Every structure is written in structure tokens, then in C-alpha cells.
């Protein structure tokens, strides 16, 4: 598995470690906000070649079945997972997206990763009565230029899309609807499976990971309290069920 997280950046490895403990080689891949990636920390400074190299690295590993690779992404990582599977010439056996958009307001400008500034997203931010910020409208499909959307109609492998219905950071339901419609229109609806969880928020992670409905987010020009959503009991139940279903999906399509 190639394992992608969101715009919080850095290198997050615990999901990959859990996959590895179950016999799935997993490469947790940083693409923003990491000291070893050149360029500003708050922009994506890698392009298609970077993600192609990650797949090639796993394919060439002597203990990996090179024709049985998948990709999982949370939040913005879900968009990248869709894009990787449909637009950069790699052929994963399966894709898993967790509360992510179909595209990006900001164009990934070229194959070298010269990405437009993400600061333009701020016009779509909204605030509650406490001054906490929600990024939900940034990812509403109607706000994403068509040319910046992943070409999901080209998808050739099964897709598991996990939705938290109380997601306050991504318009997960609306994105799932658009992905499902595009696949249906392309005659590929059989590839799509949706798991939808009432009361679950944005950060659907492995079981027993504590959920914060809001937390500090460091961004320019100031630090903000960001809304993620999720109520404790239903979110915890969603994480437990989604993890079980994720492992079953991987077992079926990578080892089946």
C-alpha cells in the first residue's frame, strides 16, 4: 500500500505500521510539510514523478508482489489517491479514500510539483460562533474547477470510499455522490463501494484513536482552531467498523 495523509503534512506512519503488522507492506508517503522535501513547507512541491517513484519502489521490493499494490488516502490524500489511480500511469489493484475531495481548488500546476498557493482557499472558510474555522466549503464539488478534478471516470480498479456524515472539514457526502455519479455515467458503478457513518467526523482513523471535534491547526497567517466534526460514540464505532472493512477490502483485492 501507498499511504497518504492530509494537508496537515509531515510523515505519519502508524496506519502503515498497522497494515504491516497484518502482512501488507505499506509505504507512508510525505508530500507536504516535511523537512526532507524541498521548497516551502505549506505548498506541495512534488509532482507526478514523485508518486510514480513511490509505486516503483514498492514494485521493485523483493518481498512485495509488484502487481498487487493499492493506495489509501485521508482528506486531501484521498484526492491524490484518486488522481494517482487515474492520471499518472500506475495501475493499483484497489483504492481507498477517507473523507476526501474529488479535486482541488488549486491546480497541481505541472509534473514537477509547482503548485499554486493554497492561501486562496481562505475565501471558502467559514466560522462558527466561537470563531472556529471549517474548511468544508473548500472541498464542495461545485467550488472545484472541473479541470482540477480527478478523472475518476477512468478508474479501472475497485474503490472503497469512507464517509463521516458529520465531517466539518470536507464535504464528504457531496464528493462521494459526485464520484459515484461519474463512475455510473462511465459504466463503472460496480467498482464503487461507499461506507457512510452517521455522527462520524473527518478524521476516521484506526480503532481507538481518540477523536477531537476541533483542534489547533497551524496555518498562515495565524494559528486557528479547526473543526473536524464527529461525536464521540458514533465516531468511535465508525473507526472500528471502517477499519475492519478496510482490511477485508485489502484482503480481497490484494491477496484474494
What are the domain boundaries of the chain?
Answer: 2-255
Asked if residues 249 and 193 have their Cβ atoms less than 8 Å apart, the reply is yes
Phi and psi dihedrals of 222, rounded to 5?
Answer: -150, 165
* Catalytic positions: 75, 167, 202
Q: What is the DSSP letter of 203?
A: -
- Looking at residue 117, its pLDDT comes to 54
The CATH classification number of 2-255 equals 3.40.50.1820
Cα–Cα distance, 74 to 87 (Å, whole number): 19
Cα–Cα distance, 35 to 4 (Å, whole number): 17
- Looking at residue 223, its pLDDT comes to 77
- Looking at residue 101, its pLDDT comes to 97
- At 73, which helix (H) or strand (E)? strand 70-74
Cα–Cα distance, 253 to 63 (Å, whole number): 18
Cα–Cα distance, 194 to 173 (Å, whole number): 10
**Mean pLDDT in runs of 10 for the chain (256 residues)?**
92 97 96 84 83 95 95 97 95 98 79 56 82 91 93 98 98 98 98 99 96 82 86 98 99 94
Cα–Cα distance, 19 to 14 (Å, whole number): 9
Amino acid at each position: 500500500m501507498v499511504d497518504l495523509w492530509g494537508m496537515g503534512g509531515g510523515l505519519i506512519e502508524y496506519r502503515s505500521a498497522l497494515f504491516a503488522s497484518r502482512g501488507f507492506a505499506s509505504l507512508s508517503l510525505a508530500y507536504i510539510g516535511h523537512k526532507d522535501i524541498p521548497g516551502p513547507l505549506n505548498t506541495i512541491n512534488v509532482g507526478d514523478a514523485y508518486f510514480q517513484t513511490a509505486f516503483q519502489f514498492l514494485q521493485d521490493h523483493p518481498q512485495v508482489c509488484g502487481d498487487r499494490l493499492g493506495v489509501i488516502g485521508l482528506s486531501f490524500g484521498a484526492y491524490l489517491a484518486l488522481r494517482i489511480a487515474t492520471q499518472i500511469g500506475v495501475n493499483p489493484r484497489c483504492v481507498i479514500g477517507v473523507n476526501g475531495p474529488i479535486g482541488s481548488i488549486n491546480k497541481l500546476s505541472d509534473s514537477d510539483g509547482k503548485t499554486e498557493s493554497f492561501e486562496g482557499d481562505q475565501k471558502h472558510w467559514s466560522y462558527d460562533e466561537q470563531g472556529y474555522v471549517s474548511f468544508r466549503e473548500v472541498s464542495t464539488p461545485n467550488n472545484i474547477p472541473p479541470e482540477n478534478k480527478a478523472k475518476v471516470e477512468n478508474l479501472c480498479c475497485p474503490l472503497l470510499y469512507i464517509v463521516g456524515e458529520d465531517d466539518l472539514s470536507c464535504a464528504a457526502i457531496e464528493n462521494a455522490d459526485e464520484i459515484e455519479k461519474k463512475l455510473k455515467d462511465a459504466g463503472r458503478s460496480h467498482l464503487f463501494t461507499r461506507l457512510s457513518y452517521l455522527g462520524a467526523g473527518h478524521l476516521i482513523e484506526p480503532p481507538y484513536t481518540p477523536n477531537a471535534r476541533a483542534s489547533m491547526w497551524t496555518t498562515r497567517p495565524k494559528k486557528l482552531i479547526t473543526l473536524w466534526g464527529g461525536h464521540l460514540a458514533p465516531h468511535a464505532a465508525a473507526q472500528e467498523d471502517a477499519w475492519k472493512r478496510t482490511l477485508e477490502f485489502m484482503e480481497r483485492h490484494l491477496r484474494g
